[in-house]
A and B are shown apart, each in its own frame.
Chain A
Amino acid sequence: MAERTMIAAIQHALWTALAEDPRVIILGEDVGKNGGVFRATEGLQAEFGEHRVVDTPLAESGIVGTAIGLAVAGMRPVAEIQFLGFIYETMDQIASQAARIRFRTQGRFHVPLVIRSPFGGGVRTPELHSDSLEALFVHTPGLQVVMPSNPYDAKGLLLAAIDSEDPVLFLEPMRLYRAQRMEVPDERYTVPIGTAQVVRDGRDVTLLAWGPTVPLALQAAEQAASTDVSCEVIDVRTLAPLDLDTLAASVQKTGRAVVIHEAVRTAGVGAEIVASLNDAVFYSLLAPIQRVTGYDTPYPPPLVEDAWLPSVPRILRAIAEVMEE
């Protein structure tokens, strides 16, 4: 077993998939010789050749659209969209095509396609590199939306995504690429899509987070513990399909919840989770569920982003609010 960062775990998952299945092909901008702008595909073209790790022309719709054709014709494409902010260029191919081909053809054809894309704030990027756009895809039936928050899950979820018979948006929080090293087994394993994970047990409040807000939720939980508030932290991990049972069981136990995401608030995945929890455990709630999210503005420039993003103080304030009720 080796200690790996998230980016190294992703690279290792891609290496594993290429090595074990000749149908796997990686395509995207700068994924070949350059190894990806974050080095997620470092060394893969040298090892597996330029027919399996392919630098494509600079066209997002072309990348996803041809990946759909590859997938229906028997390959296992892993496409990279260099930054999630660029994904609007290929919304039709994702939402109208990849997500619907199984449905449109009543199962005659399907699209085993993974679209990897870095996203998220706090890394001082130019405009349109940091936006959290997961809600667009959660709102699109036929897609699965996955977001790891640590190296172990990143490898296991990515291999599960490549195994999946349906398209997966695999969203990689840039800020966590090199934030943490942890034990990541060399051998193949998967983390099942559609399962949330309790990453800290607690009694009083459930903190629901995914991707880049999971470490924030854990820090907030640690600080809250010093004031005798016991937080349970759940890494939602898969946003579609949502593991509502795990979320509801926790909130039933604690009676309070705070949902934390970087994406803008209105019609965000947090709103869906709050509504679903109201359906499932309303009578166990001791306080209205709070949300800590990005504000309803375009993602701001670097000099503003820290104040805009969810932070430990904002989470602590929300915890205090639900505890007051």
Chain B
Amino acid sequence: MEIYRWPGEPTLHQILREDGTLAREEPPGVQDQAQAWYRFMVFCRRFDQKALNLQRQGRLGTYAPFSGQEAAQIGSFAALRRDDWVFPSYRELAGMMYHGLDPAHALLFSRGHPAAGYMPKELAMFPGQIIIGAQLLHATGAAWACKLRGEDRVAAAFFGDGATSQGDFHEALNFASVFQLPVVFFCQNNQYAISVPVTRQMATPTVAQKAIAYQIEGIRVDGNDIFAVYDAMRYAVEHARSGGGPVLIEAVTYRLGPHTTSDDPTRYRDPEVHDAWARAKDPLLRLRRWLERQGLWDEDQERAWTAEVDTRLAEATERMEQTPMPDPASVFDHVYAQMPPALRRQKQELTDLRGRV
């Protein structure tokens, strides 16, 4: 009797060590992009902080911060084409902004503005999914459409470690495998699903190994190493685009902030573990050290860029707050392509009531 067993120690694809030295040769294209990536990571880190501050001031509603996951998000989105399908979760604003979402638009989600959901026409990107794991099936279906239509686009689904417990995760991997679809499943294992640690989410030592059960390729990558993330995603996207089928990537990372502005992570986190991720493993520090070694970055540039970012964020905040308030009667406008009679009557009722106020 042969018994199948997980064969050994988990692997972790790493290029950039925590001290900013290279563990192996960096992938092509990285030299040219690294400084722009770093700038964008700084922008996103400060965007995240700005959003938290705006929430505390009552200028934004619930916000789900992504700090700590900038390398995982920017490195993965950087390997996508602008016309590829993108199905993110709600904690993906760094990647989405890198892909082309205006920061003022990104803030509208937490503003509670309906216009937030209208994604830029030039992108095939969905707004962040709230239901955990539901978007994996949408990505699988969109990839299926690309294959049937003979398009060379791929679809990418972004999700966290918690999503891997959902049925939709398994159904998506299975459908993608059975029909050999051009889809990349990109999991940011940030160690916690709200308060539940990944060790309670799964008994398997990794997310990536779940690919084996579906006879698809799996990669486990250091999610705080933007070179390795980009390398893994570039490989996966190319694999999918060239007809090789789906890939599951696990980016091992860490959520530095709370789950959302309504969450208190001190209730469930180990402070020592947290400190290690917050200091030595910070994805921004790591890339900055490398850039400094290359002579591509210094303290003056850091200061100048930080000031520039703050100006841009102030400007984005202003534009977000100047977005006209939605007309409540517009709530009826996008329920159906043609408004049914009952909705027309209800819209009229709401309009009349407001007219009287």
Residues of A within 8 A of B (CB): 25, 51, 54, 56-57, 59, 61-62, 64-75, 77, 92-93, 96-97, 102-110, 141-142, 144, 164-166, 194, 240-242, 244-245
Distance between B135 CB and nearest chain A CB, rounded to angstroms: 9
Q: Are A96 and B141 neighbours in the complex by a CB distance under 8 Å? A: no
Q: Are A105 and B337 neighbours in the complex by a CB distance under 8 Å? A: no
B41 within 8 A of A: no
B139 within 8 A of A: yes
Note all chain B residues with C-beta closer than 8 A to A244: 341-342
B144 within 8 A of A: yes
Note all chain B residues with C-beta closer than 8 A to A92: 131, 134, 168
Q: DSSP class of B's interface residues: helix, strand, loop or mixed?
A: helix
Q: Are B145 and A75 neighbours in the complex by a CB distance under 8 Å? A: yes
Partner of A93, one of B87, B134, B340: B134
Q: Pick from B115-123, B251-259, B274-282, B303-311 the stretch touching chain A.
A: B115-123
Q: Pick from B8-16, B172-180, B230-238 the stretch touching chain A.
A: B172-180
Q: DSSP class of A's interface residues: helix, strand, loop or mixed?
A: mixed
Cα A74 to Cα B155 in complex, Å, equals 14
Do A106 and B335 contact each other (CB < 8 Å), given the known contacts A57-B175, A69-B140?
no
Q: Are A62 and B171 neighbours in the complex by a CB distance under 8 Å? A: yes
Which residue of chain A has its CB nearest to the CB of B337?
A: A165
Note all chain B residues with C-beta closer than 8 A to A59: 167, 171, 174-175
Q: Are B337 and A62 neighbours in the complex by a CB distance under 8 Å? A: no
Partner of B142, one of A73, A97, A165, A245: A73
Q: Are A69 and B118 neighbours in the complex by a CB distance under 8 Å? A: no
Q: Are B140 and A103 neighbours in the complex by a CB distance under 8 Å? A: no
Interface centre among B143, B175, B178 (most CB of A within 10 A): B175
By the criterion of a CB under 8 Å from any partner CB, how many residues of chain B are at the interface?
44
Do A106 and B142 contact each other (CB < 8 Å), given the known contacts A51-B148, A62-B174, A74-B149?
no
Do A61 and B175 contact each other (CB < 8 Å), given the known contacts A241-B341, A242-B342?
no
Residues of B within 8 A of A (CB): 85, 87, 114-115, 117-119, 121, 124, 126-127, 131, 134, 136-146, 148-149, 155, 167-168, 171-172, 174-175, 178-179, 333-337, 340-343
Which residue of chain A has its CB nearest to the CB of B130?
A: A96
Distance between A84 CB and nearest chain B CB, rounded to angstroms: 19
Partner of A66, one of B121, B137, B334, B342: B137
Q: Are A97 and B134 neighbours in the complex by a CB distance under 8 Å? A: yes
Note all chain A residues with C-beta closer than 8 A to B141: 65-73, 77
Q: Are A75 and B148 neighbours in the complex by a CB distance under 8 Å? A: yes
Cα A106 to Cα B118 in complex, Å, equals 5
Q: Are A166 and B137 neighbours in the complex by a CB distance under 8 Å? A: no
Distance between A112 CB and nearest chain B CB, rounded to angstroms: 9
Partner of B137, one of A65, A240, A241, A245: A65
Q: Are B175 and A56 neighbours in the complex by a CB distance under 8 Å? A: yes
Note all chain B residues with C-beta closer than 8 A to A245: 341
Which residue of chain A has its CB nearest to the CB of B141?
A: A69
Cα A54 to Cα B179 in complex, Å, equals 10
